[in-house]
Structure 1
Amino acid sequence: MIVTARGYGLLAAAVTLLGTGFRFAYPELALLGVAAAGAFGYALVTAGWRPRLAVDRHADPDRVGRGEPATVHLTIGNRGRLRPANLLAEDRCGPRRVPVPVLRLRPGRDTRVSYPVPTTRRGVVPVGPLRVTRRDPLGLVTLTRRYGDRVDVWVHPRVHPLHAVPTGAGRSLDGRVDRVPHGSITFDSLREYVVGDELRRVHWRTSARVGELMVREHVDTSLPRIVVLLDNRAHAHPTVVDGVADTFESACEAAASVLVAALRDDLPVTLLLVAGPDGPAAGPDPGGSPLDRLAAVELHGGALDDPLRTATTRLRQDRLGDTLVLLTGPGAQGDLGRLGALRGAYPSMLVTVFGADAPTPAGTAGMVVLDVADGAGFAAEWDGVRPW
């Protein structure tokens, strides 16, 4: 509850009038003081009345890509039976306030409001709770209460289509990955004989039954495993404008693109952060949707230890996959030499540096380094990488 300047003035006047009237025996002044005190008490009772409101809020949809439309639908109902609700209300949507028309909301009636959610930036946009302000007619006291629960709208990074996916050191059990070697160790299916097939692969029992030669088709049993390591150190992305590091946003778009491409082809993929509680030191699977984690991730700075050294040590010990994709910024160009210790654990390594002013030298032999400007440039370069 907030007492306005007018309320403090009236309260001071009431005290002064009552004190002067009783001290010097002026009943007129005492009567004015009683009236002022009564007006202030009426303001407290009026502003303190709690309306019975029912608030229902949902976002449609609650998960969108950056720049895609999202709308919040808000329904407010007066569940009181006797009096209308004379209120001022506003809903929180990220950093802005949205006015809600509930002035003189009659008993048993509802009011509905829909408004767009700003999705121009990646992140988690909090929506709600509803702030309802109750004032007395004289403007002496203001009381604000919150109604309804908060909902979050997850704005994922923009996804750029990637046509190629890593093949890694292993191959696909179901033949879903290109360049799968046939004639390997696991039976997959039978097919008709074609010129050039080895006779030792002919399945004679089935051939006798169907009346033509049938051969066994085999594929390898393993899948390529991809590890996406996103460098979220503030040191790696030094240029920040209006609270946004463009190189970090581009790295998040690249990470989302790799994740979507891997999931599209049913390939195991793991997202890790260099710094923060979800880094490799916290374990390989901190939980949560990878795209939701990308929406919520922020730059991390001020650590006393070296997060990249900790990350490389954990990756070398755990061997979480066979293809490592590191996405970083121009501030980390001098740190790539530390990745040499991972060469034995990850046969295929790709490092992408966003926004670098000069070409980035390869930190170790066999490591592919890409210098790109943004997420779209990453997608164009990715499809031309020779290892896949």
Structure 2
Amino acid sequence: MGITARGLGLLVAAVVLLGVGFRYAYPELTVLGAAAAVAVGYALVTAAWRPRLTVERSAEPDRVARGEPASMTVTVRNTGRLRAANLVAQDRCGDALVPVPLLRLRPGRDTTVRYEVPTRRRGVVPVGPLRVTRRDPLGLVALARPYGGTVPVWVHPRIHPLTAVPTGAGRSLDGRVDSVPHGSITFDSLREYVVGDELRRVHWRTSARVGELMVRENVDTSLPRIVVALDNRAVAHPERVDGVAESFESGCEAAASVVAATIREDLPVTLLMVSPDAEDPTGGGGPLDRLAAVELADGGVDVLRTAMSRLRQERLGDTLIFLTGPGARGELGHVGALRGAYPSVVVGVLGATDRTPPGAAGLVVVDAADGAEFAAEWDGIRRW
């Protein structure tokens, strides 16, 4: 509960008038002081009344690409039984406050407000809670209370269509690495039989030993397994425009475009951040949600070296797409060291105003000013 400047002044005046009136026996001052004290007490009782409200909100839609329209619908219902609500309410939408009129909201009635959610920037826009301010008629006391929860709106990076998708890389028995246009089946593990499994996949020797049917689980080892690594270190994206690193935003668009293209082709894809500590632990979990929530993080070459060491040890795929900014051109040697673990390594330098020197670290480098230019350059790659 907060007392306004007017209420504070009246409270001080009440104390002074009562003190002077009693001290020097001035009944007029005592009456004025008592009236001021009663006014402050009435304001406290009036503002302390807690309206019974329920708030429901729905985003339409709750996941959009950057720049696409999104709206929020807020329904406020007065669940009280005795009096109508005549309040001042504001709904928090990101960093802004949206007014929600609650004038003469009778018991059992509701009101609905619909407004647009800003999607000019990639990110997660938290909407809510509704903040209801209760004031007394004299404006002496104001009490604000939150109602309802918070609903996130996920603003994904723009997706630019990609035509080309990396081909698979299969290893033959003599150690060579070849591009494989079609899949091959390889034994992976054994599992229990379920209705519908083909009997020719039953492993009879193991079934006889454990006493129940066991079937072979096979995987397609020659399908391309793509790993997209996004460099979210602040040192890799030094340029700022109105406090925003546009090269990083372009990198998020490039990552989203590659992920969308691989999912469209039903290919396995893994999305990693160079600095995983900058990811939102409460994110939606999908790759596009992660790209919406990720932020720039502190860290130098040691963070990059740790990430590359993890990629080398785990070998999450056979095609590595590393997306970074102009500030990391001098560190591409750490990425080039992964060519032994990943048959195909492609580096995308977003926000580039000039070309990376040919043959830098022996990598295929795509220089692009933004996500749209990256998509155009990507489709022109001839060597994976």
TM range (shorter): 0.7 to 0.9
Distance 1:185 1:26 in 2: 102
Query: Which residue type is aligned with residue 314 of structure 1?
Result: R
Q: CA deviation at 1:222?
A: 2.5
Distance 2:273 2:59 in 1: 29
Aligned residue in 1 for 2:346: 350
Work out whether residues 168 and 348 of structure 1, in 8 Å CA contact, stay in contact via their aligned partners in 2: no
The percent of aligned pairs where both chains have the same amino acid is 70
Distance 1:113 1:306 in 2: 50
Q: Does 1:329 align with 2:325?
A: yes
RMSD, aligned α-carbons: 2.2
Q: CA deviation at 1:272?
A: 0.5
Distance 1:57 1:42 in 2: 34
Alignment of 1:243-282 (within 5 A): 243-277=243-277
Q: CA deviation at 1:179?
A: 6.3
Alignment of 1:1-388 (within 5 A): 1-170=1-170, 180-181=181-182, 221-277=221-277, 288-301=285-298, 303=299, 306-361=302-357, 362-365=359-362, 367-387=363-383
Work out whether residues 181 and 220 of structure 1, in 8 Å CA contact, stay in contact via their aligned partners in 2: no
Distance 1:254 1:340 in 2: 20
Distance 1:46 1:278 in 2: 46
Work out whether residues 93 and 126 of structure 2, in 8 Å CA contact, stay in contact via their aligned partners in 1: yes
Aligned residue in 1 for 2:200: none
Work out whether residues 166 and 387 of structure 1, in 8 Å CA contact, stay in contact via their aligned partners in 2: no
Query: Which residue type is aligned with residue 180 of structure 1?
Result: P
TM-score normalised over the length of structure 2:
0.85
Query: Which residue type is aligned with residue 260 of structure 1?
Result: A
Distance 1:251 1:14 in 2: 63
Q: CA deviation at 1:31?
A: 1.5
Specify the structure having the higher radius of gyration (Cα).
Answer: 1
Work out whether residues 247 and 355 of structure 1, in 8 Å CA contact, stay in contact via their aligned partners in 2: yes
Q: CA deviation at 1:4?
A: 0.9
Q: CA deviation at 1:276?
A: 3.5
Aligned residues: 342
Structure 2: unaligned runs, 5 residues or longer? 172-178, 187-218
Work out whether residues 324 and 349 of structure 1, in 8 Å CA contact, stay in contact via their aligned partners in 2: yes
TM-score normalised over the length of structure 1:
0.84
Distance 1:248 1:305 in 2: 17
Q: CA deviation at 1:278?
A: 6.5
Distance 2:264 2:130 in 1: 39
Match of 2:126, SS? strand
Distance 1:96 1:49 in 2: 27
Work out whether residues 170 and 180 of structure 2, in 8 Å CA contact, stay in contact via their aligned partners in 1: no
Distance 1:84 1:329 in 2: 57
Query: Which residue type is aligned with residue 383 of structure 2?
Result: P
Q: CA deviation at 1:377?
A: 0.7
Over 3 Å counting, the alpha-carbon distance change for 1:323 and 1:311 in structure 2 is same
Match of 1:238, SS? coil
Over 3 Å counting, the alpha-carbon distance change for 1:185 and 1:249 in structure 2 is closer
Aligned residue in 1 for 2:196: none
Work out whether residues 73 and 113 of structure 1, in 8 Å CA contact, stay in contact via their aligned partners in 2: yes
Per-residue deviation, residues 318-371 of structure 1 (Å, max 9, x unmatched): 111100001111101111112232010001010011122332133323x21111
Per-residue deviation, residues 243-282 of structure 1 (Å, max 9, x unmatched): 2111111110000000000011111100011113268xx9
Structure 1: unaligned runs, 5 residues or longer? 172-177, 187-218
Q: CA deviation at 1:225?
A: 0.4
Q: CA deviation at 1:69?
A: 1.0
Q: CA deviation at 1:152?
A: 0.3
Query: Which residue type is aligned with residue 49 of structure 1?
Result: W
Q: CA deviation at 1:387?
A: 2.7
**Of 75-84 and 248-257, the range deviating more from structure 2:** 75-84
Q: CA deviation at 1:27?
A: 1.8
